[in-house]
Amino acid sequence: MRDSLDTLATHVRMVRKAIQNLRPSEEKNEMVLLTKETQNGLLAHLADALALTEDMRKVSASSEEPLAEFALCLGRVQRKIQKLRVSQGREDMVLLTEASRDALLAHLEQAMESVDEIKRVIEDAEAEQVEPPCDKCGGPVPPWNDAARVAFQVSDRIELLRAEPRHFLPVEGCEGSPSRAQYIEGQPRDDRRGASYDESEEAVWRAAYDRLLELYPPPRA
C-alpha cells in the first residue's frame, strides 16, 4: 500500500510542477498557456492516479475516507483541465486563467494532504495490527517477511495485497517460499522436483526484497 501511495504522490507532484511552470500569455491578460501535448500529459497522469485510487479503495477499508477525498480533488482537477478552451489562432495551445491555475494548485495541495492522511491511517493500523498467520505453518508473518508483499514489489498487481500471508524467507518450523526466496543472497536453491533457477530473475527479486525492507524495516536484533 505504501508504494502505491508513493506512486499517487508522484503523479500529483508531476501535475503540480507542470501547472506551476506554466508561462503567462503575452497577448492575453491574466491568462497562462499550455500546449495540447502538456494538457494530454496532465490528463494521463490524472487518469492513472484515479485508476490506482479505485484499486486501492477495494483493498483498504480503513483508508476509504481519505482515498475518497483524494479522488474528489483529482476529479475536480481532471474536469477543469478537460474543459480548457483552445487559444484563438493557436490550435496547439489551450488557455487557463491565472485564477483557475491557482484553484487547480489548491486542489492538488488538498490531494497531497489526503495522501499524508492515508499514510497516517496505515501507520496507525500497522501499529495495532496483529501479525497474520502464515497459510503454510500458521505462524505469524511480519510485513518484512511476507511473500505476497515481495511479489507485489515485483509486479505491482494490486490483488496480491489480498493474498493469504506466507513467509518469504524460511523461519523455524516453516520453509517459507523457496521458489522465490532462493534468489535472495544466502538462501539455498530450491531443490524440489520441478523447481528451477532463472538467473535473470535474481536481480529482480533481490531488488524487490530490498524495497520491502525499506518500507518495513525489521526490528534490530
pLDDT of residue 155 exceeding 80, the answer is yes
Beta bridge partners of 35: 93
**2-128 topology per CATH:** Four Helix Bundle (Hemerythrin (Met), subunit A) (1.20.120)
pLDDT of residue 114: 85
Model pLDDT for residues 115-151, shown as the tens digit of each residue: 888 777 777 766 666 788 999 999 999 989 999 999 9
Enter the pTM of the model.
0.57
Lowest mean pLDDT, pick from 38-42, 73-77, 159-163, 210-214 = 159-163
Closest CA to 147 of 135, 125, 215: 135
Please give the full DSSP string across 128-197, using - where no structure is assigned. HPPPPBPTTT--B--GGGBHHHHHHHHH--GGGGGSPP-BSS-BTTB---HHHHTTSTTPPP--STT---
Domain with CATH 1.20.120 in the chain: 2-128
